[in-house]
């Protein structure tokens, strides 16, 4: 669907693990993309699609959480954002968090605001800006699910137009 595919080996049975067909028929695109953007609920617990991410913004608990975000953003960019040596530091009690990595041999470090266990949205804006600067023709996309979660993807202009047209969902560029 609109260049958002299941990973090899993922089947319809995997999609129907948590929701039956009738639920998908009531809100087909939102539910399908949300499930595709998540992880399998059984072994091997991998992402169902490499093209979309269902992200819960209340997720920062300890070290490694910003690393996971950086790795997933790199994966979504499909080789256009080859991050290396990704590390982070998260101490909610002390109010300190940061993310660092290398891109094209250059070390980058971003300080993250700490507000309980909520992600700092500025981190996503910085990834969006970083990808734009690389002039790949791709940008990160965003769809607000109306709660504390969203869908994040990466596409070219024509892909974004296609997903909006074919699903009726108001995906936007992540800024």
- The residue extents of the domains of the chain are 12-173
Cβ contacts of 16 within 8 Å, gap of 6 or more: none
Q: Which helix (H) or strand (E) holds 140?
A: strand 139-144
Chain centroid offset of residue 143 CA: 11
Q: What is the pTM of this model?
A: 0.94
Closest to 154 measured CA to CA, from 65, 77, 62, 64: 77
Q: What whole-number distance in Å separates Cα of residue 31 and Cα of residue 51?
A: 15
The H-assigned helical ranges of the chain are 12-15, 21-26, 28-36, 65-76, 121-133, 157-167
Return per-residue pLDDT of the chain as tens, 175 residues.
Answer: 568 999 998 988 888 888 888 888 887 899 999 999 999 987 778 999 999 999 999 999 999 999 999 999 999 999 999 999 999 999 999 999 999 999 999 999 999 999 999 999 999 999 999 999 999 999 999 999 999 999 999 999 999 999 999 999 999 999 9
| 90 close to 108: Cβ distance less than 8 angstroms | no
């Amino acid at each position: 669907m609109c260049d958002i595919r299941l990973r090899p080996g993922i089947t319809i049975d995997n999609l129907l693990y948590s929701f039956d067909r009738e639920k998908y028929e009531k809100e087909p695109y939102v539910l399908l993309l949300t499930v595709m953007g998540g992880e399998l609920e059984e072994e091997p617990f991998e992402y169902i699609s490499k093209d979309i991410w269902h992200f819960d913004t209340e997720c920062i608990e300890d070290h490694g959480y910003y690393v996971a975000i950086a790795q997933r953003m790199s994966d979504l960019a499909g080789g256009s954002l080859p991050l290396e040596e990704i590390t982070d530091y998260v101490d909610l009690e002390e109010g300190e968090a940061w993310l660092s990595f290398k891109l094209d041999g250059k070390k980058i470090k971003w300080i993250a605001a700490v507000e309980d266990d909520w992600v700092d949205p500025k981190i996503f804006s910085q990834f969006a800006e970083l990808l734009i600067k690389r002039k790949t023709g791709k940008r990160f996309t965003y769809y607000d699910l109306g709660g504390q979660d969203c869908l994040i993807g990466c596409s070219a202009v024509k892909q974004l137009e296609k997903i909006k047209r074919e699903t009726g969902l108001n995906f936007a560029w992540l800024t």
